[in-house]
């Protein structure tokens, strides 16, 4: 049996004051900002940094609210497969509406705040792990309102 190398990543499910979710559009699919955790850096700081880098949002306006569920998937980079374990964080953006600066060298075409009534659009064209994570957040959010 072939053992895959494991890489650790962190990402953010970012919400704004109107509870819209921040999505990025990359490689023809909707996704959430994430990246590999550098040695010596915390997962939550990585999630904040990747959200800023990939969208252009002001880091001073972002705050980690808590950790969500992790996801695991097979990732292929430079023809090498690895097992990518991603820790996800709920992040709040407290800034004003502004123009994004998508990280084009990472393949990000655009970024968009998507309200809950329009989530079918990105969820119909995103990786299964993102679909699972967003639905988990929606369920938890609903339970917290009870």
pLDDT tens per residue, range 102-130 = 999 999 999 999 999 999 999 999 999 99
Determine the pLDDT at residue 122.
97
H or E segment to which residue 143 belongs: helix 128-145
Mean of the per-residue pLDDT values for the chain?
92
User: Quick check: 28 pLDDT over 70?
Assistant: yes
pLDDT class of 101 with cuts at 50, 70, 90: very high
pLDDT digits (tens, 9 = 90+) for 61-79: 999 999 999 999 888 876 7
Range of the domain at 93: 5-145
Determine the pLDDT at residue 145.
72
How many domains would you assign to the chain?
1
Percentage of the chain beyond pLDDT 90 is 81
CATH number at residue 48: 3.90.79.10
Residue 71 falls in which region: left (phi positive, over 0), alpha (psi -120 to 50) or beta = beta
Determine the pLDDT at residue 99.
79
pTM of the model: 0.92
């Amino acid at each position: 049996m072939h053992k895959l190398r494991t890489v650790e990543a962190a990402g953010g499910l970012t919400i704004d004051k109107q509870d819209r979710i921040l999505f990025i559009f990359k490689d023809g699919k909707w996704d959430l900002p994430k990246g590999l955790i550098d040695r010596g850096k915390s997962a939550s700081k990585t999630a904040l940094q990747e959200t800023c880098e990939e969208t252009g949002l002001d880091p001073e306006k972002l705050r980690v609210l808590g950790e969500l569920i992790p996801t695991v998937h097979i990732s292929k980079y430079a023809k090498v497969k690895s097992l990518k374990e991603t820790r996800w964080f709920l992040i709040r953006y407290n800034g004003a509406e502004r123009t994004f600066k998508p990280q084009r060298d990472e393949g990000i075409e655009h970024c968009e705040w998507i309200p809950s009534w329009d989530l079918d659009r990105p969820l119909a064209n995103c990786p299964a792990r993102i679909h699972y994570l967003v639905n988990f957040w929606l369920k938890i959010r609903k339970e917290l309102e009870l």
